């Protein structure tokens, strides 16, 4: 049974969503991310994907107080990303309540530091962010493109012990037009043994079913929830199924 992981993206301490990672296409959904997180927990969600979009753009953690508030107010397993570029950023994230941290840009631009975190904190605490446009890795809040193809990029870190990978098809993120089934099929075929977390493009439960059919173990849903295409009741029902 696929796990649905709700997302909260933060700008200026508020819950927002972007379209295709464009900061100029920002929509505010909640002024109180803690209340949003509590609603997800009440619906039976056990995990939360929390992204510091200010941090991603600024290359250092900014909204750590929001992380701390959610962690202290819920029992959610929080994976936190956005702007984690230094040892201090990683330390702050864990001290403020993150159960896991996601590294994307750092894994591209400073792999030795990222590998050190895997060794220091354990591979179960570090998630590889593999966000791509046309299967090429993008960094710095998706502002910059690289010359790295997503499959060998992921495989290089599987050799270092990484097991969890969050992959977003940037062209689909926030567009509610369906997920990158072909991309995820390729990743699952070529990158053996990973816990792949799909992200971007989810428009409703049918998209999640399609991911489940190709054996994607988990999916992040954001805008589809905030726009009411996946209701809190839907989350409750899906989480009940996982418990059966």
Place of tokens 């301490």: 13
How far apart are alpha carbons 164 and 162 in whole angstroms?
6
> Strand, coil or helix: what is 48?
strand
Sign, CA torsion 200/206/210/211: positive
Query: Are 210 and 183 contacting, i.e. CB atoms less than 8 angstroms apart?
Result: no
Q: Which of 52, 54, 89, 131 is catalytic?
A: 131
Q: Where are the alpha helices (DSSP H) in 150-204?
A: 150-158, 181-190
54 as an active site residue: the answer is no
Query: Are 204 and 184 contacting, i.e. CB atoms less than 8 angstroms apart?
Result: no
87 as an active site residue: the answer is no
How far apart are alpha carbons 93 and 95 in whole angstroms?
6
Positions annotated as catalytic residues are 9, 131
């Amino acid at each position: 049974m696929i796990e649905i992981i709700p997302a909260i993206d933060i700008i200026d301490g508020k819950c927002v969503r972007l379209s295709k990672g464009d900061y100029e296409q920002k929509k505010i959904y909640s002024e109180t991310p803690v209340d949003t997180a509590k609603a997800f927990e009440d619906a039976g969600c056990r995990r939360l994907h929390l992204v510091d979009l200010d941090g991603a753009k600024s290359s250092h953690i900014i909204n750590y107080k929001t992380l701390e508030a959610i962690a202290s107010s819920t029992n959610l397993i929080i994976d936190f990303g956005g702007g984690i570029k230094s040892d201090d950023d990683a330390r702050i994230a864990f001290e403020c309540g993150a159960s896991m941290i996601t590294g994307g840009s750092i894994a591209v631009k400073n792999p030795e530091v990222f590998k050190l975190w895997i060794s220091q904190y354990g591979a179960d605490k570090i998630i590889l962010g593999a966000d791509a446009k046309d299967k090429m890795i993008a960094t710095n809040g998706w502002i910059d493109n690289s010359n790295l193809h997503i499959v060998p990029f992921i495989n290089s870190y599987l050799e270092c012990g990484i097991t969890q990978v969050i992959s977003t098809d940037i062209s689909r993120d926030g567009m509610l037009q369906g997920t990158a089934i072909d991309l995820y099929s390729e990743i699952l075929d070529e990158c053996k043994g990973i816990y792949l977390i799909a992200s971007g493009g989810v428009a409703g439960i049918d998209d999640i079913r399609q991911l489940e059919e190709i054996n994607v173990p988990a999916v992040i849903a954001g805008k589809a929830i905030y726009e009411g295409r996946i209701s809190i009741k839907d989350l409750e029902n899906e989480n009940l199924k996982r418990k059966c």
